[in-house]
Structure 1
Amino acid sequence: MSLSILQGFSKSLAMTVLSEIGDKTFFAAAILAMRYPRRYVLAGCLSALIVMTILSAVVGWAAPNLISRTLTKHIATVLFLGFGFWSLWDAFHEGESGELAEVEAELDADLKANGKSTKSNDKSDDEAKKKTRPFMSQIFSPIFLKAFSITFFGEWGDKSQIATIGLAAAENPLGVVLGGILGQALCQTAAVFGGKSLAKQISEKFIALSGGALFIVFGIQSFFATVES
């Protein structure tokens, strides 16, 4: 493949870091790590994001084989420019969104709901519940599955997922996967071990401005790139 792995890797790494820092899944990982063992939270969140990155890259890799490369290039260009201006709009018109508080409230509501259902059952039901638990929850820790599901479904259809698809269609998919995984690992590790204090220090406006500028640069590069037959 003529596309550079290093170029796809560097673009994917930069895009992932700027997209995921301050994102809802970042805040969710930070809050979950304050309530549950960090190793399970990190494993669950990172596993979900790795799966999502690979799936997105596969879709992006398959796109040029399903439609013409010229059309794929135009779609990628529109995606990058669209996300770039979207991020800039959010930065200037919404400012600090308070997403940390929103995610914390959602997790608190979920925790209270689970707490009430737990208290309604006595100890005599515990063994029966263990035997009738779903197969996956008998293999993996419930905390791992909780972190995985929250992160996976929170990331599904997110701007960063669609951007990864567009990047994999325009760049070397292997480089995109490797850069995306490293970027996700850095962000999730920072969220889990940095905790809530780190999340509060993040300027969502600055991240949105940086990410928007990066997407616009990618869009310009994609627009002027030559299409190989």
Structure 2
Amino acid sequence: MDQLGSLVGAFLLVFLAEFGDKSQLVCMTLSARYRPLPVILGAVVAFAILNVLAVAVGSVASAWLPRSAVLCVVALLFLWFGLQSFNAEEDDEDGSPAVSGKSVFLSALIMLFFAELGDKTQLAVMGLASTEPAVPVWLGATIALVATSLIGVIAGRALMRYVSVVWLHRASGVLFIVFALYAGSEAFLLLL
């Protein structure tokens, strides 16, 4: 993919996978209790840091490992995430940790950072960054996470009456499988 294709691909993959996921529900819950601006700022900082970590690990892996091996791992990872997305249920917001109330910004940042650390989308960003240019992948993934957080803050639970989270997870599953097929075909061509 080219730079714009990498950015759009990362955005679509992460946006569909995170829409209705725990990070969006955390933003909904926090913004229902507190002012939205610190929640949004906390989410932006948390996601930017998480995506830098994911892109860095993915880029290092691509530099040290043979491209065909990286592509095979990425293809299997994306295929697994794609298949798992079809089994996704509606997320339960009651499992969200309590907010200290002292600093909404820090609470949102810390809560979202640890909730998303090692999450499927962070691993997906890592995989994409191992095969695509790092900056567009980081930018696309971060914009997607910020967008889902903004939607969570602005639209809240009213949106979920019209959009099925299960169908959004299925759409992300299809996208993960498409990326798996793309990475697998690239690995196959390198092995020829």
Aligned mate of 2:171, from 207, 210, 214? 210
Quick one: which amino acid aligns to residue 142 of structure 2? I
Q: Does 1:167 align with 2:128?
A: yes
Preserved CA contact (<8 Å) 2:22 2:91? no
Measure, in 2, the Cα distance between the counterparts of 1:155 and 1:199.
21
Evaluate the alpha carbon distance shift between residue 98 and residue 220 of structure 1 in structure 2; reply closer, same or farther with a 3 A threshold: closer
Query: Does residue 1:197 correspond to 2:158, yes or no?
Result: yes
CA distance in 1: counterparts of 2:90 and 2:185, whole angstroms: 34
Could you tell me which amino acid in structure 2 is paired with residue 24 of structure 1? K
Aligned-CA RMSD value: 1.9
Aligned AA (2:175): L
1:35 to 33, 58, 65: 33
CA drift of 1:202 comes to: 3.6
Structure 1 residue 47: Cα displacement: 1.1
CA distance in 1, matches of 2:5, 2:41: 28
- Give a deviation string over 1:65-120, Cα, whole Å, max 9, x none: 121111111111111111111112x14xxxx43423x34xx44xx35xx59xxxxx
1:29-81 CA-partner distances (Å, limit 9, x unpaired): 01100111110000001210111111101111110112111111111111111
- Distance in 1, matches of 2:153 and 2:83, equals 30
* Alignment length (residue pairs): 189
- 1:53 maps to 2:14: no
2:116 corresponding residue in structure 1 = 155
Any residues of structure 2 matched to 1:133-152 within 5 Å, and which? 142-152=103-113
User: Secondary structure of 1:60's match?
Assistant: helix
Contact 1:30 / 1:199 at 8 angstroms: preserved in 2?
Answer: no
Query: Whole-Å Cα distance in 2 between the matches of residues 39 and 184 of structure 1?
Result: 16
User: Which of these two proteins has the greater Rg computed from alpha carbons?
Assistant: 1
1:157 alignment partner, SS class: coil
Deviation at 1:180, TM superposition (A): 1.0
**Contact 2:20–2:91 under 8 Å retained in 1:** no
Shift of 1:153: 0.2
1:166-213, CA deviations, whole angstroms, 9 ceiling, x for partnerless residues? 111111111101111221221111111112322454412101110110
Gaps in structure 2 of 5+ consecutive residues: none
Residue from 60, 75, 78 that aligns with 2:76: 78
Q: Which runs of 4+ in 1 moved over 3 A?
A: 199-202
Could you say which structure has the greater relative contact order, defined with CA pairs below 8 angstroms and 6 or more residues apart?
Answer: 1
Partner residue in 1 for 2:13 = 15
Q: Which ranges in structure 1 are unaligned for 5 or more consecutive residues? A: 116-140
Corresponding position of 1:220: 181
CA distance in 2, matches of 1:202, 1:164: 25
